[in-house]
Structure 1
C-alpha cells in the first residue's frame, strides 16, 4: 500500500514521533507542494481506513499514522476515519484518547459524531466490562443530539453481544429503567435479549425466554425465528431448527438471506449437504439472492463431507455470480486440507485474488504448519503478513515463537518474544526460554 510505505519511510527517516516530525524527506519546497497536492487527490477515506486497519493491533502506530496523514499529507479526516481510529483505541482501553478524538470531531462538519461513533464506544466499554461507563456515555448523548431510539438499541445490543445480558434486561425491564422519552419496540428488545442469552450459551435460559415471549404476548418476527434457529443449531439440535423453518413457512413468514443461511446450516448438519444444497436452490428460486455467508456455509458442508472438488468448484463459481470470496471462504478450505503444498497454493491464490487474510487466517495456517513440524511455511506466512502491512497480535507471535522453539531455534524465538514485550504484548511463559536466560546469567557471573 503506497500510503503506508510512504508513512513508514518517514518513520524510518526520523526516529522521533511523527506528531513532532520536522524532517522533510523531500528535496525541495516545490517537490513538497507537488507531493501534498498528489496526496490530497490520492488519499480518500477508504484508503486511510484500510491503512488504519493494518495497525489494528498497534494503537500507538495507528495514532501516529492518523495524525501524520492529516498534518503531513493534508488529508481531512471524516467521521468514518475518526470512527476507525476510535475503535482501535477502544480495543486497548485508551478511552481518554477516544473522547479527545470525539471532541475534535465536533469542530468539523465533515466529521461530526454519529450513531456509529457511539456504537463503537458502547462496544469497547462493554468489552472491557465497564458497563456503567457505557451507560454514562449514553447519558451524554443529549450533548450530541443522539440520545434516541437508535442509540438505546445500540447500547442494549452491545451489552447483549458481549455477555452482559443480565444488565441489559435490568436496563430494559428492571427497577431502574432509563427514562428515554420514547417507546421501544417490544419485539426488537426481546430479540436482542434472546440473542444475548445465546451468546452466553445458556440454552435452558434461551428456551425459557422463547416461551416467555409467547406467555407475554410478544409478537415473534423473522429475526426472532432466525435467532432461535441459530440457538438450536449451536445447542446441537439442528432438527429443531428445521422444524422452526417449517413453522415459518406455514406462517408465511418471508425468509431473508440470514434466515436461509441458518436453515442451510441446520439442514446440512441434520440431513446432509445435499439437503442443504436443495434449500440453497430454493432460496434463489424465491428471489432471495445468496450472499458470501451462504456460499461459505455450503463450502464448509462440502469440506466436512470430504467433497473438496465440489467445494473448489463453488469457490470458482462465486465471482461469476457476483459474490466475491472472503477470508472465511478460504479458511473453510484450509481447515480440511492436509498437504502443505496444497495449502500454500491456495494461500497464494487467495493473496493474488485480492482477498486480504484476517489475523485469524495467518494464525490458523501457522498453527497447522507448526503441528506438522514445518518451519519454513510458518516463516513464509509470517513474512507475507508483514509485507501486507498487517500488525501481528499475541496469537500470531505465539504461533511463530512456538514453531521456532519446536525446531530448537531459541535465540530467534527470544527475539520475537522481546519484540512482543516492546509492543506491550504479554508472551506466554515458556520454560525453554526462561531456563536458557537463567543459565546465561549464571555463566556471565
Structure 2
C-alpha cells in the first residue's frame, strides 16, 4: 500500500506517464539537471539502459503503479509502450483503447507538409521539455520557476508562450514564473494576448496584487490594455465577491486608456450578472444611465441576470423599462425568460411566451426552440420534446448543430442510444458539422451506459476532426475510470489531457477525489486532494468531509491528519472563500 507519509509525496506529477521518461528528447533534457537542485532527485535505471534522475514523487508513484498486477483493462500496446509487444490491440482485452494506438510511418510526405511537420515537431519538443520541467517539481514561488528555467536553451516564440500558458492555466506559480522567464529572453516581447492570459490566470488564483502589477506594465505599452483585458479583470473580481473593486475599475477606466462608454458599461453589467450579482448590476445601471446611454444589449444583460437569479418579476419589469427607452424586446429578451421558465418546468408559461413572440414580430429562433426542447427532454417529456422539431419546421426555422446536440442528449437520456447514433450520422448527411458539444454528449452517454470502448473510439474520432477535446470531454471518462477502478486508464487519460494543454481545475479535482473515495481508492484520492491544494485551489467542504470521514472509517489516521493539515493551509490562503463556504454550509 502507498504510504503518503513515508514518501512525503508531492503529487504534482501524478499523471506523468512513465514511458515519457524514456523519450529521446528527455535523455539530455534540462529537466534531469534541474530536479537535483532542489533535493528531489533519485537515480532510476529504466529498461532501455539509460539512467535518469527524477523527482522523488514521480519515482514513488512510478514504483507504486509498477507493482499493480497487470489486468485485462489495458491492451498490450499500452502495457508495453516501447514496442516490446505488438502495437496491435488484443481483441480479447476487456477495456481496449484501439483507436488510441499510434500508427507507424505513413511513408513520404509532400514538401509543404514536411516543412510544417518539422516546425511543429520542434515547437512541440520545446513545449514538452518546458512542461515536463514545470510539472516535475512543486515550485513554491515563481522565482524558483525562473531559476529552474534559466538552464533551458530554447527559442521563445508567441506560439510557445501561448501553449504553455494554456497548459498551466489552472496553476499560477509555474505559469507566472514561465511568463517572467520568457519576458527576459532575447528577441522576444510578450504580446497583449499573453498579458491577457496571465492576468486571467492570476485573477483566477486570486493573486490580485500580482495581477495589478502586470496591469501597470500593460498601461505603459501603447494599446495593450483593451476591453478584453477589462472583461477578464471584472469577471475575476466579481467571481470572488469583490464587486466593489470591479465597479471601481470602471470608475478609473481612463487610467487604462479606455472610455466610460456603453460598451464598457455593458462589460461591467455582464460581469456582475454572470457572477450572480444582478442586484449590484441594477444599482450600477441606475447610477450610470443618466450619463451613459444604455442600448438594447444593456437591458438584455439585466433581463438575463434577473432570469438567472430566478427573479422573474424583476425581469419582466426590466423588459417594460426597455420599452420606455424605445427598445423593443427581441428574441434575446424573450429567450432569457423562456429559459428561466423552462428550467422551472413551467411549460404553460413557455407556450404563452412563444405565442407572444409571434404576435410581437420577434418569432422564436433555433436557440429558443433548442432551449425548450432540451428542458422538455430533461423533464422526461421525450415525446413533447421531439414534437418541437415539427413545430420548428412549420415556422421555417432550420436546425443547427446545437439543436442536434440537444436531440442527441434527449435520446441518450431516454435510453434510445441507437436513435442518438442515427442523429449523429444524419448530421453529416445534412451538411451540419458536429462540434465539441456533439462529441461530449455522445461520450457522456456512452460512459453513462458503460460503453467504455465506444467512448474511447469517439474520443479518437473527435481528435481526428477539427474538434479539440476539453475538460467536459474527459470528465465522464475520468468518472467512469474512478467508478470501475481503471487506474491505468485514468493515468493514461490524465497524461493525454496534459499533452493537449488541458489544465485541471477545481471541478475536475473534486470529481477525481470524490470518485476515488467512492471506489475505495483512498490513497489515490489523497494524492489528488494534495495536488489540488498545491496548485492553489481550496477544496469544497463537502469533498473534504467525505474524504476525512472515509479515512476515519478505514482507520487511516496518518493520512487523515495529513489531509486535515492541508485543508487548514488551504483555508489560510483563501480566507474569503473559506468564509463563504462556511456561510453556505450553515444555510444549506
SS at match of 1:336: helix
Determine if the alignment matches structure 1 residue 128 to structure 2 residue 255.
no
How far 1:324 sits from its partner (Å)?
Answer: 4.7
How far 1:376 sits from its partner (Å)?
Answer: 4.6
Which of 243, 264, 281 pairs up with 2:352?
Answer: 243
Other-structure match for 1:229:
338
How big is each residue's C-alpha offset from its partner over 1:48-72, in whole Å with a ceiling of 9 and x where there is no partner?
4444222221112221233344434
- Higher mean alpha-carbon deviation, 54-63 vs 430-439, is at 430-439
Determine if the alignment matches structure 1 residue 168 to structure 2 residue 277.
no
Alpha-carbon spacing, 1:83–1:315, altered in 2? closer, same or farther (3 Å) = farther
Determine if the alignment matches structure 1 residue 395 to structure 2 residue 507.
yes
Mapped contact 2:306–2:315 kept (Cα < 8 A): yes
Other-structure match for 2:293:
183
C-alpha distance in 2, partners of 1:116/1:440? 44
Determine if the alignment matches structure 1 residue 64 to structure 2 residue 177.
yes
Other-structure match for 2:71:
none
Unaligned 5+ segments in structure 1 are 27-34
What is the correspondence of 1:314-353 to structure 2 with a 5 Å cutoff? 314-316=423-425, 318=427, 324-337=433-446, 338-339=449-450, 340-353=452-465
What is the correspondence of 1:42-441 to structure 2 with a 5 Å cutoff? 43-44=158-159, 48-72=161-185, 74-109=187-222, 112-143=224-255, 144-173=257-286, 177-178=287-288, 181-185=291-295, 187-203=296-312, 205-206=314-315, 219-253=328-362, 256-265=365-374, 272-278=384-390, 281=393, 291-316=400-425, 318=427, 324-337=433-446, 338-339=449-450, 340-353=452-465, 355-372=467-484, 374-406=486-518, 408-427=520-539, 428-429=544-545, 430-433=548-551, 435-438=555-558
How far 1:205 sits from its partner (Å)?
Answer: 4.5
The TM-score with structure 1 as length reference comes to: 0.79
Alpha-carbon spacing, 1:82–1:194, altered in 2? closer, same or farther (3 Å) = same
Mapped contact 2:170–2:535 kept (Cα < 8 A): no
C-alpha distance in 2, partners of 1:368/1:201? 34
How far 1:322 sits from its partner (Å)?
Answer: 6.6
SS at match of 1:17: helix
Other-structure match for 1:17:
144
C-alpha distance in 1, partners of 2:559/2:247? 52
C-alpha distance in 1, partners of 2:392/2:415? 19
Mapped contact 1:276–1:298 kept (Cα < 8 A): no
C-alpha distance in 2, partners of 1:440/1:169? 46
Mapped contact 1:194–1:210 kept (Cα < 8 A): yes
- Higher mean alpha-carbon deviation, 376-385 vs 111-120, is at 376-385
The TM-score with structure 2 as length reference comes to: 0.62
- Higher mean alpha-carbon deviation, 92-101 vs 307-316, is at 307-316
* More helix per residue: 1
Alpha-carbon spacing, 1:414–1:160, altered in 2? closer, same or farther (3 Å) = closer
How big is each residue's C-alpha offset from its partner over 1:129-177, in whole Å with a ceiling of 9 and x where there is no partner?
111111110011122133211001111111111111111112222xxx1
C-alpha distance in 1, partners of 2:496/2:469? 10
Unaligned 5+ segments in structure 2 are 1-123, 562-588
Mapped contact 1:369–1:378 kept (Cα < 8 A): yes
C-alpha distance in 1, partners of 2:511/2:330? 44
Cα RMSD of the aligned pairs, angstroms, is 3.6
- Higher mean alpha-carbon deviation, 386-395 vs 202-211, is at 202-211
SS at match of 1:350: helix
C-alpha distance in 2, partners of 1:95/1:202? 32
SS at match of 1:272: helix
How big is each residue's C-alpha offset from its partner over 1:200-223, in whole Å with a ceiling of 9 and x where there is no partner?
233454456556767998632222
More RCO (CA 8 Å, sep 6+): 2
C-alpha distance in 2, partners of 1:410/1:262? 40
C-alpha distance in 1, partners of 2:324/2:254? 36
How far 1:317 sits from its partner (Å)?
Answer: 5.0
C-alpha distance in 2, partners of 1:22/1:4? 12
C-alpha distance in 2, partners of 1:56/1:128? 17
How far 1:263 sits from its partner (Å)?
Answer: 4.9
SS at match of 1:163: coil
C-alpha distance in 2, partners of 1:107/1:218? 40
C-alpha distance in 2, partners of 1:113/1:320? 45
